[in-house]
Amino acid sequence: AQTVTQSQPEMSVQEAETVTLSCTYDTSESDYYLFWYKQPPSRQMILVIRQEAYKQQNATENRFSVNFQKAAKSFSLKISDSQLGDAAMYFCAYRSRTGANSKLTFGKGITLSVRP
Amino acid sequence: DVKVTQSSRYLVKRTGEKVFLECVQDMDHENMFWYRQDPGLGLRLIYFSYDVKMKEKGDIPEGYSVSREKKERFSLILESASTNQTSMYLCASKPGGNYGYTFGSGTRLTVV
């Protein structure tokens, strides 16, 4: 079974600074997806960024980028130029690429606060 | 935009009651999921369904059942609610193929 580990329960960053959220995972599969989701106080889970394991290039979405290290099974999220609206819970998640098993496996999440 | 609607945002029920949590999606998605979210534990999969009348157990199915009689609706049932089922419940849906999930806004259930 796949597992996703987020070892830091909380982090804090100064507005306009950069922060990196860590995630490791364990799997025996070679083809899969990795995700970062954001959950603000409204509770709506929002997809931040997605990485396909067969792609070597790290995914980027505006101020959000990942450092995907497949051999190390590491998938960290970097938020640049942090904004007050980035304050939320962030979840790392894994999904197998095979269609019959499309469930997401989540980490425990990390609470990010942004200091003005 | 795809919408996943959970019928209640907050719910308070008594121990032993039968509880129904409803989830409806409006985009003909094949797959639907129920997750439970608890502080320090993240989201854990209770049940999922990849077609009408089909269901699969997730990681923590004990104490729960589900129903999917129509493609757009996926119900989570607590047969006899207990205080340890006090939690946030999140529903999600996804089309077939390599597409993303859409989540509902959650139901915060308190069992007293």
Distance from CA of B25 to the nearest CA of A (A): 15
Residue type, B34: W
The answer to whether the CB atoms of A91 and B92 lie below 8 A apart is: no
CA distance B75 to A79: 37
- The full length of chain A comes to 116
Q: What is the pLDDT of residue A7?
A: 93
Q: How many CB atoms lie within 10 A of CB B84?
A: 9
Residues of B in contact with A50 (CB under 8 A): 100
pLDDT of residue A6: 96
Q: Please choose, from the candidates A46, A72, A75, the residue with its C-alpha nearest in 3D space to the C-alpha of residue A58.
A: A75
State mean pLDDT over A42-49.
Answer: 91
Nearest-CB residue to B43 (from A44, A47, A91): A91
Inter-chain Cβ pairs, chain A and chain B, closer than 8 A:
47
Query: Is the pLDDT at A27 greater than 70, yes or no?
Result: yes
Contact flag B44-A43 (C-beta cutoff 8 Å) = no
Identity of the residue in B42, B90, B98 whose CB atom sits nearest the CB atom of A107:
B42
With a cut of 70, list the residues of chain B below it in pLDDT: 1-2, 98
Q: Which residue type occupies B13?
A: K
C-beta of residue A74 within 8 angstroms of C-beta of residue A98: no
CB A87 within 8 A of CB A65: no
pLDDT at B1: 67
**Can you spell out the DSSP letters for B39-108?**
TTTEEEEEEEESSTT--EE-S--TTEEEEEEETTEEEEEESS--GGG-EEEEEEEE-SSS---EE---EE
CA A10 – CA A22 distance, rounded (Å): 11
